[in-house]
Amino acid sequence: MNTELMKERAKRNWYKFSKNPLSIVGLVVVVSIILIAIFADFVAPYPQHAFVFVDFKNAKSPPTLKNLAGTDLAGRDVLSRIFFGFRYSLLMAVSVLTVATPPGVILGLLAGYMRDTWVDAVIMRVADVFLSLPYIVLALEV
C-alpha cells in the first residue's frame, strides 16, 4: 500500500477520533494509567508503602494533604498502593489477551471456514455458552 495513502488515512482517522470529546478523555485516562503503572516508583507519594510496610500509628486515617486517599488498616498510603496495583492489573490484562486471543482466532477461522457443518455448530454452541455466563462468574471460577 502507498505510504502517502496510509498517512492520509491516519490523518482522517485521527480527525474523526479527535472530534469526539469522550474519545479524547478515554485516551487520556488510558495513557495516564499506563504511564502511572510504568513510573509508579517515581510518581507514588510513598513507594515503600506498596510492599511490606506497617505504620499502625497512621492506620485508617482519612484523606489528608499528606495521604490524598487516606491509609489502610496497616497505615499504608492507599494512593501509592493503587498506583502499584495498576501494574498488576495491566499485567493480568495482557496475560489474558495473550492466552485467549490465539485459540479464539483459530476457532473463529475454523468455524468460518467450515460454515454450515457440525464443526461450526459445535464451536458456536460452546461460544454461546461462554457468552451466556456473566463475566464475573467466570472470573470467580479462576
Type of residue numbered 87:
R
Tell me the per-residue pLDDT of 82-134, one tens digit each, with 9 for 90 and over: 999 999 999 999 998 999 899 999 999 999 999 999 999 999 999 998 888 78
For residue 3, tell me if it sits in a domain. no
For residue 128, tell me if it sits in a domain. yes
pLDDT confidence of residue 142: 62
For residue 84, tell me if it sits in a domain. yes
Cα angle 98-102-108, degrees, rounded to a multiple of 5: 140
Tell me the per-residue pLDDT of 11-68, one tens digit each, with 9 for 90 and over: 999 999 999 999 999 999 999 999 999 999 999 999 998 888 898 888 899 999 988 9
Domain count, the chain: 1
Nearest to 46 by CA among 14, 22, 20, 70: 70
Q: What range does the domain containing 104 cover? A: 39-141
For residue 6, tell me if it sits in a domain. no
For residue 5, tell me if it sits in a domain. no
For residue 18, tell me if it sits in a domain. no
pLDDT confidence of residue 50: 86
